[in-house]
Each structure stands twice: as structure tokens, then as C-alpha cells.
Structure 1
């Protein structure tokens, strides 16, 4: 079938009231459960059950595919609700979202433990002749499904299955509460500023604080804390500090007032901890301490039920890495490589800090002093180059880069200002694009929602909302659609959003994820795009994409002054490229600190209490960090990746995948970074195949060999350090 825009099956966001979505989710679960009720236990080759039915592998596959198709409705309705809860959260959406979590958990557990459905997958695999005829994507999806059944407790006795189901349900609720507490704690903080506290802040930073001030006035008026007369008496502009990332970073990077920086740092690193006195709308504490210890305890119970020693082993059972020891060795060896550079980074910061009257550098000083070093050593200021990266130019250049690499074309559809051809969106800031191949064949569509706002969780992410999928029995075809979300500085003072280079890198990163989702040629949904890709390899395409934002030829395509249109001057370009590895040692150790902490708390048995979690974090910091962290720092209480996301015992994936992406990009360095043949090979070997083959196979098909750590060390500027044991390096790289 030739793809058409109808195959995008776009959402009408005007018809997505929370309770409408709630009814759709419940109806979809009911329909899926009704189908499961029709399935009977089937006889395996070794079974001797007269009451069991015997069906062919062909019929078993037909049943599996029918069930997959029925689940599309649930994927869609729940996907929309989850998305809105992340980008437009309010009390109504949150209530419906959380009310459905136990029902979804119960349904997911029933599917994972449903013996008749499991039997059908077994029947397909057991018929070796039939299984050998399946396309690779279908065979891979079946193999992964069988593993998922095992990890869902399908082999457990009835009583233990019920216990497993209860654990899953409680975990889903606890993770949602953890995430809510972080969002509420972030938005609860507001600090009106005096004029003396504004010294050093940039024009764009002041505009952000003024915008935060307007939001503060609106909230205070709505809550009744201030009257209209009180609001009218406040100065205009009214500057307010918040913990939303653009505002927070503006202050931490540029505010001369050290006390203000310390105040914001303390507020940020104690969110949702015992030091946070804020409460939610129901008056409940936002402290995540109990949530964290309960989550670890339940994950350990789940692991033990499944026959694993700890939850880290459960997590690694679906990843490229084979063992906790292997991952820990990889992280500690990389830390050994990075430590000399990190110590040099710290010494450089401390040297400059003394020039600003700071005898002992503290965490709330590091971004501020780092900016001073950049200005002095590299003649580079993020604020000076921000006007050269207006978001429309960056987006246009990004599209040009991927067009040259992969022969694809991007077209915006239904712009918010267009009078016709409108595409429904959930917010006025959102834009929608279609992606076409070189022959004008429609490949998929994506939404950009890039600006920070109230009710939107922090960070940046790609949500693979709708996978590429076809079902010939019903002549059904759908194209991939995804949401790419950021929290960039919005347009202010009639100017477009102006990005820092760090924000440019974030956009490229998420677009790399988006391409992985959109360029797939796999039509089996479970292994299409990012689906079915090992978690420690899923960051490969995203980190890989960042390289073009560090290349002079790529930067030329994404930069021009917002007012004059002039390209980034050579001195600023040279400075930007020279600063690439600035503080890379400390940044690498910071990521390793997070990854090692995550790994160790999930490998520990018995499960750690809150005090044990903090003690583990302090031990890791002692082993890894070169800069002292205040005792009150409660970073872990806001570590959503592992307590509310999918990175539990998997945060190391960022560094693991960075090794892969660096080595993959080295092929472009050898052939030319816009070499179309190399771009075609990367698209065909990595992006197009999704999870239809193991990630190790895909990488080796592209690179022609196993991965090497050399490019990672070179890209981070660690090539002069030779502390890693050669045997360990080879062992680490063999598995990937």
C-alpha cells in the first residue's frame, strides 16, 4: 500500500477531554480482556492434556497478530493521556491518569501471565520449520515476547502471580507519585528578587525572570494570596526566580550574587526531600524519601519472585551488557580515564574562583565560574552566541543536515497561523511536520513542543507515540508519529527563541531519537523504531546526532544572527569548537556518579532504606567525584530517570551508548561527515531496522567490526591518559 497522510491517523486534540480518554482506555482494556477470555490453553508437543486444544503454528500466529491489533486502541488512548499529563498537567488530567494506573497495571500483568496467550507464542517457536519461514522482525518480536512473559511471572504459581500483580500495581502508583512530587516541588518555589540581586544577569535572563514574575502574579491572584490591588502595587517588570530550568540556569550561570546562587542551588537539590516544606494541593508532603525506599523494596521482591538475585539483574537481562560486574567495571574504568582531566578542570575553576573572591569553590559557583573561564580562556560567552542560534534557523539547518545525510525531506504542516490545512495541537506553541523520502513517499510525522511552561514536566524527551505498523488481514496501515518535547527559553520581546549551544545539542539529541522512530522500515510494531531496542543501545542514534552540532560545516547550517542574518563569526566559531571538551572530565564523572549510584542501589540486597540510599550515594561520590557535595544535597529525591522512568539499573546506558555513537561517528570522520553513502549505510543498518535484530548485530553491520572505546576517549579529550587496563577495555568492548 502506498502511504498517505490518512495513515498518520493524527489526533484531534480538541476531542481529548480527560474523561473521554478515560472511557476510551477502559473500553480498550475491556475489549482486550474479552479477546483473552476466548483463548483456551493449547497443547504443546510434550503435553499430555486431553482437555487442551491443539492448534497449528499458523493459527497461533494469527491469534497473536489479532491480539496485537486489538491493543492499538489502548496504546493510542493511554498514549495521549500520558502525553498530556507530561506537557499540560493539571488536577483533572492527573487525577484521571492516576486513577487508571491500577487498571493498566492489572491488565499488563494479566497479559504477561496469560497462559493461553503464552502457549501460542510457544507453539510458534516450537514449530521450527514454520518459525524459520517468518520474516526477521516477526521472529525477533516473538522471541522478545517470550522473554517478556518470563519476566512477567508467567511460570509462577498462582499465589506468587497474584503477589507479582500487586507489586506491579503499587510500583506504577509510587512512580507516578514520585514524578508528581518533583513537578509540584519545582513549581512551588518562587523568589521575588531585589534590584541588587540582578547584577550580572543577561538581557535574556532578565526577560525570563520578568516572564516568571508575570506567571507568579497570575498564580498568586488566582490562589487569593494577593489581591488585584496588591498585584497593581508591584513594580513592572517584576523579577522572580524559579526552579524551571531556563530561569535556574540563567541565575546559576550569570548572577553575581553568590548568596542568591546558593539559595537557588539549595532549593533545587532539596526538592521533594525532607528539607522541602512544600505540600501538594491535597496538603500532602512532597518528600519522596518513603517512595524511594518502597520502590526499591518492591523491585527487589519482584526480582526474587522471578528468580534473580536483585533488580539490577532483572534490568540487565534485557540489555546488551551481561552483568552488574561488567557494567561496574566499564564505569569505574572510564572514571579512571576521566579523573586526571576532571582534576585539571577543577583546578582551573578554582584558580579563576580566587579572582572573584571565592576561596573555596562550591557547587553553586561552578557554572558561574565556568562561564568566566570560557569568556577569558576562549573569548566565548553563551549569551554572546545565543543570538546566532535563533530556533527557526536551528530547525531549518537541522532539517538540511538530515536531508543531506539520509535523503529525506521535512515539511511543516498546518502551522498555527495558517488559515487552512490546520493540524490539531495541544498548545499554541506546538508545530507539526511530515517526513518524506527522496521519492516524496510519506514516512511519518512529528510534533515539536519545545518551550518551558507551567504544567509541563522538566527535561527533554521523544515519545514514540505511534509506531509503524501494518495488519494485512484488515488492510490496516499506520505510519510512525512521535512527540519531541523540550523546555527551551520561549520567544521573548518579539524575538524568536534564542538557544544556547547546550540547547542546540538537546534539540539534535531528541531529533536523533525521532529519526530512529520515524525512519524504520519495520512494520511489526513491537520491534519498529525504538521498540525492542536494548535500552543501553537506544541512546546511540540520539547521541550520534549531536556530532553535527559540533562540526564547523554543521554549525554553518544552523546559525545566523537573529537581527543581521550574519553567520557565526570565525573567532566565535573557533572558540565554540575549542570549548567542546571544556570541563569534559568533570561532566563525565558526574554522569558516572549517577550511573554507578543507580546500579549499586538496585544491585544491593536487602533493599536499601532511605538512609541506605543516601549512604550509597555518598560512597559513590567519595569514589568518583573530585568536588565536594554539600551534605544536604538530595539529588536522588529528584532522580526521575530511575524512580519514575525506564532507566532503573540502566542509567549507565548513556555512557554505554556514547561509546557506540562515538565509534559510529568516527566512520563519518573517516569518510566525510556528509558522505551520502555512509549516511545511507547508517540509515539502513541502524535507523531502518529498529529492534528487529540485536543492537550488537546492527552496530557491527554498520561498522564492520565490534565497537572500540578509542573514539569515545578521543572525543572527550582523554587520549593522553593511559590508565585503563587493556584487558578490561577489550572485555568491555567485546560485548558491544
Structure 2
């Protein structure tokens, strides 16, 4: 299609109001319900008894188009609730959840609509004429109907609807508690506690101090005179990730590190000292148990043994047993390297007067090891990764790989507005357009990259608007997404300076963004990341990280913030050498989370809070090689599985990492900037979205099934295993 700027259908965020979004959501649902009512009436009078497959498809496409308005208004509200949460936004968002859940359940259980899809599939001659993307979307929709209880008797459908509604509310509350508990914590530091902290770390703590002063004033805790009397700089430790990591990595005060660690791992638990905020308990314990019980009830209604089976029914992996075997086998491969990692940390800990290494020592001692063994300090290399340079280098990399260019669009202001100026939800946000080699507009994306109050922690890509066209009404839209991070903001007149870990995070999310933006599919349900199996959706994101570990890639994304000098060879060599540093322990940690997630969702009857903790402790006993304090309540903040889409699916990160490592090995063979290989990856993985099964897409690119060899090699496990057991010959297995 000949796309224009207007096909981006951008939001005027400057004039978005929660109440307006509320009304738009209700209006969209009302119109869609009217469509379903008319379809029901036609069915009851047998007007659609002999409907053709062609007409059935027209009805399906008309209903899909009608739902664009809902996707748009609810998508904006959900996004704002994540990036700039206020009481008004949160109230409207949560008030709508039961209505939205009820509507979603009605759609999933609407027999006349379901019959339309069946009519299309049952006319095999007609179905064979459909383009692959449309056929795949219909197949996935039929699966979704089954998982929505379309075949249940009326009373069971009502029970299913109630469960869905309650789950949506509980997940939102879980997320609220984690955010509120994170934002509620503030620890004022004295001069002695600042020892060891870096210049950038002190700047972060001072910035947190200014935010804390503002809260004290706004809440009426202190008067303006009392706030003005506080020292400047006023150093405050918070649980926002940049601040937390600055302290845990560099603070010499071990008691301070333990204090902050305990606060972080007890958020939203019975041990959280901020048990009440705005009069509400933030303890997620009861919510976690109730979520598991409701998920089990949902699974039983649908005829599954437990919720893990429901989750896996739409993924690449076939069974709980297959996933558990994959995770435990990978743990066995990683354990020798992890033991070497731990021994190295313990050896260095003794040099710093620590007899027994504890979790709050790990990041601190690891940094000392890096400085000594690799002559590498994150703080020394941070000035070489100013965010503007990293972004421009990232854009240069994808231009070489895929023949695309990225251009920033002007930001809307009162003084300067144009037909193509872009509104935003916060002053830090930037908007970019993506163009193909022939200068055709492909799509657009927003960057919202800095940590701030009222913003959910972590990093994510929100595929807000899919590529889509509807010829009947001459409608076409280009893909638009939001890429969100929580990086260290610009301080002291300098741009944001990233650690290499933050660079990797940016590349990861941009990989998701490319998957969403580069699709050539115009059937929205399978365009971009839509319709892609959850355990394969991390493939493009983890794949993109490889260029931030390559010398050629690093040369494009690094230059000193003051001098412009390239990253010196000794620091580059050290950075590349440290790639697999602590990879054994990090892999076991991810497997611990994944196995815990899998087992609590595969357990029947559903576990109560004590059972959840017992399962986590059992997994740690099996997998972990470092002791975890009894008070650790990591699960109470595990938003991925209790408030996100990763329930019984957290293993997807390691599963997709196998795929991404094997895919990148093709570039290692051909040259990491080989344009032909880049085009092949774009054509077989990025462009096709969910229009084919992920296994098919991968095999079309690689020419074979995926092998675990590249993952073991990239993780440094092969050498560790050989050293640990030279006589034990490892055989190659095709896991996926």
C-alpha cells in the first residue's frame, strides 16, 4: 500500500482525558454488542441458516473492524495506566475492567459468531482460497473460542465469565500493590552510607531526594519552610531500579545493601514495612492464592487438568513434561559453570571481609571481580554509552541489516506545530518513523525510556496498533508501538549514560519493536507480534541483543560523552571477555523462576500462599546453589505471571533464547552484517508475524529444526562442562 503519515492514526495525547477514554470504551462496546445482538436475532429467526462462507467471512471482517475503536481507546488507557499512573487514570482503568472482561467473554462464547468461523472452515474449497494470514487468523480464532468456553452449557459459561472478570481485577490490583510498595519506600542516607557510590549513583540518589522532598510537601508531612531547611543535595535511596542497582552494586556499607535488598524482596508481602498505603493493605499473598484458584477453576471448566495445560495449548511446547525436562536439562548444563561463578565470588568476598556471601553482596562483589579480573567497571564504560549515541548506532545497525531508516519526528509544542508534529504523554517521550529502502513509510514508534514516579518498573514493548487494512471501507493503518524503559535519566546537564546492561535492554525491546513494525501482514490478528506463540515471541528481541555484544556493533553505539573518543580497545576487550561472566548463576536464576511458575500452575488442587512459598523453596532446593533468606518474598512481586501474560509461560525466555542463539549462529557463519542473511531473517521471521506457526518460520530461516548447541556455546557452558567432567561426552539434542 502507498502509505502516508495519516495512516499512523496517532493519538493526541495532549488532549486525552481519562473520562473521555471511559466514554469511548463504553461506546465502542455498545456498538459491538449491538452487532452481536443483530447476529443473534438473525440466528434465532433462521435468517442465517444457509449463510455462505463468503458472507460469513464478510461478517467476521466487519466485526473485527468494529472492534478497532475499542482496541484504540482501551489501548491508550492501559498504556497511560502503566507509564503515567494517576488516581484518576487508575480509577477509570479499574472501573472498566469488569465491563471489558464481560464483553470479551461474550465474544468468546457467542455461538452465532463462532458459527461464522465454523462455516468458513467447513467450506474446504473456499477456505483453501484464503491467503495464509487470513486462514491462520481463523484457525487461531477457533482455538480462542474453545478456550473461552464456547462449548460450555449456559450455567458454566456464566461461571466462566465471572472467573474472567475477577481475574482481570485481581491482576490489576496485584500490579497496583507492587507499584505502590515500590513508590512508598524512601530511605534517607547519611554521609557514611554514601561510601563507594559513584558520581552517577550519587546524582541518582540526589534526584530521588528532590522527588522525596516534593512528596513530603505534597502530603503535608512537612511545611515548605521545613522542606527548604533540608540539606542539598539530599540523598535518598528508593526501590526504583536505577537507584536500587546503584546502591547494590557500589555501596561499601553492607548493612545498607542488606536493608535495601530486604525492602526490595519483601515488597507487597507480609514483611513489607509499608503494609498500608492510602489505607489499603499492599500484601499480595491472598491475591496470589485466589488467582491460582480461579485459574484452576477456569482450566477445569474447559476440560483441562490444570492451568498449565491451558497455557501450553497455545504455545510451541507440547506439555508440562516437555517444558520441565527442557528446564531441568538446561539447569544441569548450567550448574558446573554456576558453581565456578559462585566459587569466584566467594573467594573475592573473603578479600572484602565477608565470611559468607549473601544475596545483597552478589552485585557488589561481582563488580569488584570485573574491575580486578577484567579491568572493567560499569561506571568507567558508562560515559562511552550516552543514550543519543546508542540510539543512533542502533538505528545504523538495523539499516545495515534490513535496509530500513529511522527518522525522528518533531514534537508538538505551542510555539511550533506542523501537520506532522506529534503529541506525547510526557516530556521525555520521543517519536520516530520507520522507512523502507524505497522511502516508503513502514510504521512509527515512541520511546519512553526513563524511570520516574507513577511509572511501572521494567521494560516492555506495547504493540499498540497493528498493521491492518479493510478494503470495504478503504481503511488502512500502519503499525505503531510504544517502547518503554526505566533507564537512568539525564542528570547534571549530561545526556542519559547507560550501563551495558541497559544497552542490552534497549536492543531487546527494539527487537520486539521490529517484529511488530516490519510485518507485511495486514490481517491484524496475526500481524507483527499478534498470533505469535508466547514461547517464540522473545526470539526477535533476544536475537537483537547479539549486536550489542559484537565489536562492530559496539563501535557504532559508543563514543565518550565528553571527548567523543571510541571505546578504548582494552575496555572493549574487557567488555567482550565479560560477556559470560556469572552466566551460570544468571541462568539458574531464570530457570528457578520458570520452573516455579510452571509447577504452581501445574499443581492441583490450587496452592494456597503457604503452598506457593513451599513450591518456591522446593525449586530453589533443586536448582539454586546459593542460599536465599527465609524472608525473601520474590513471588509477591512476580508481575510477569500474576499481572502479565507469562503465567505457566515464563520458561519462554529460555526457550526463545535457544531459538535466538541458533538463529544468530547463521549470521556468525555468514557475517553478522550480511545483508542477504538479514533479508532472509526479515522475510521469514519479522515480516510474517503470526501468519504461520513459529516452528515453521524458524525452520524456513534456518533450514532445519533448532539445536541447543549455540545456546550452550553462547552461554559459555560447553567449556565449563568439559572442565567439570572431561570424560562425559555431551550429545546434541534437537529440543525444539
Where on the TM-score scale, by shorter chain, does this alignment land: which range? over 0.9
Moved more, 221-230 or 272-281: 272-281
1:41–1:53 CA contact under 8 A, matched in 2: no
| CA distances 1:376-419 after superposition (whole Å, capped 9, x unpaired) | 00000000000000000000000000000000000000146893
Q: What is the rounded CA distance, in whole Å, between the counterparts of 2:440 and 2:554 in structure 1? A: 29
TM (norm. structure 1) is 0.97
Are positions 1:287 and 2:261 aligned together?
no
Partner of 1:531, secondary structure, is coil
1:42–1:55 CA contact under 8 A, matched in 2: no
Which segments of 5 or more consecutive residues in structure 1 lack a partner in the other structure?
none
Structure 2 partner of 1:164: 160
Structure 2 partner of 1:571: 570
Q: What is the rounded CA distance, in whole Å, between the counterparts of 2:551 and 2:633 in structure 1? A: 39
Are positions 1:375 and 2:371 aligned together?
yes
Which segments of 5 or more consecutive residues in structure 2 lack a partner in the other structure?
none
Are positions 1:219 and 2:218 aligned together?
no
Q: How does 1:432-471 map to 2 (within 5 A)?
A: 432-471=431-470
Structure 2 partner of 1:361: 357
Structure 2 partner of 1:326: 322
Structure 2 partner of 1:643: 642
1:641–1:647 CA contact under 8 A, matched in 2: yes
Q: What is the rounded CA distance, in whole Å, between the counterparts of 1:430 and 1:51 in structure 2? A: 52
Structure 1 residue 42, shift from structure 2 partner: 8.3
Are positions 1:15 and 2:15 aligned together?
yes
Match of 2:199 among 200, 203, 227: 203
Moved more, 537-546 or 229-238: 229-238
Partner of 2:443, secondary structure, is strand
Match of 1:134 among 127, 130, 135: 130
Structure 1 residue 229, shift from structure 2 partner: 1.7
Match of 1:109 among 82, 91, 105: 105
Structure 1 partner of 2:624: 625
Structure 2 partner of 1:656: 655
Q: What is the rounded CA distance, in whole Å, between the counterparts of 2:532 and 2:591 in structure 1? A: 22
Quickly say closer, same or farther: Cα 1:398–1:55, change in 2 above 3 A: same
Q: What is the rounded CA distance, in whole Å, between the counterparts of 1:709 and 1:95 in structure 2? A: 47
Paired residues, what number? 729
Match of 1:270 among 250, 261, 266: 266
Q: How does 1:402-481 map to 2 (within 5 A)?
A: 402-415=398-411, 419-421=416-418, 422-481=421-480
Q: What is the rounded CA distance, in whole Å, between the counterparts of 2:709 and 2:121 in structure 1? A: 40
Structure 2 partner of 1:233: 229
Structure 1 residue 78, shift from structure 2 partner: 0.2
Structure 1 residue 493, shift from structure 2 partner: 0.2
Structure 2 partner of 1:254: 250
Are positions 1:340 and 2:340 aligned together?
no
Partner of 1:39, secondary structure, is helix
Structure 2 partner of 1:608: 607
Quickly say closer, same or farther: Cα 1:415–1:212, change in 2 above 3 A: same
Quickly say closer, same or farther: Cα 1:52–1:389, change in 2 above 3 A: closer
| CA distances 1:663-683 after superposition (whole Å, capped 9, x unpaired) | 000000000000000000000
Moved more, 331-340 or 9-18: 9-18
Q: What is the rounded CA distance, in whole Å, between the counterparts of 2:671 and 2:730 in structure 1? A: 32
1:42–1:54 CA contact under 8 A, matched in 2: no
Partner of 1:581, secondary structure, is coil
Structure 1 residue 719, shift from structure 2 partner: 1.1
Q: What is the rounded CA distance, in whole Å, between the counterparts of 2:91 and 2:728 in structure 1? A: 53
Structure 1 partner of 2:292: 296
Structure 1 residue 519, shift from structure 2 partner: 0.1
Q: What is the rounded CA distance, in whole Å, between the counterparts of 2:715 and 2:245 in structure 1? A: 23
Partner of 1:641, secondary structure, is helix
Quickly say closer, same or farther: Cα 1:137–1:280, change in 2 above 3 A: farther
Quickly say closer, same or farther: Cα 1:726–1:27, change in 2 above 3 A: farther
Structure 1 residue 533, shift from structure 2 partner: 0.1
Structure 2 partner of 1:185: 181
Q: What is the rounded CA distance, in whole Å, between the counterparts of 1:250 and 1:672 in structure 2? A: 37
| CA distances 1:44-98 after superposition (whole Å, capped 9, x unpaired) | xxxx997862100000000000000000000000000000000000100000000
Structure 1 residue 41, shift from structure 2 partner: 8.0
Structure 2 partner of 1:503: 502
Are positions 1:82 and 2:78 aligned together?
yes
Are positions 1:589 and 2:588 aligned together?
yes
1:41–1:119 CA contact under 8 A, matched in 2: no
2:171–2:642 CA contact under 8 A, matched in 1: yes
Quickly say closer, same or farther: Cα 1:438–1:472, change in 2 above 3 A: same
Q: What is the rounded CA distance, in whole Å, between the counterparts of 1:337 and 1:416 in structure 2? A: 53
Q: What is the rounded CA distance, in whole Å, between the counterparts of 1:501 and 1:73 in structure 2? A: 40
Structure 1 residue 15, shift from structure 2 partner: 2.1
Are positions 1:700 and 2:699 aligned together?
yes
Q: What is the rounded CA distance, in whole Å, between the counterparts of 2:147 and 2:728 in structure 1? A: 35
2:409–2:433 CA contact under 8 A, matched in 1: yes
Quickly say closer, same or farther: Cα 1:367–1:416, change in 2 above 3 A: farther
2:709–2:732 CA contact under 8 A, matched in 1: no
1:40–1:52 CA contact under 8 A, matched in 2: no
Partner of 2:606, secondary structure, is coil
Structure 1 residue 40, shift from structure 2 partner: 3.6
Structure 1 residue 284, shift from structure 2 partner: 1.1
1:411–1:433 CA contact under 8 A, matched in 2: yes
Partner of 2:509, secondary structure, is helix
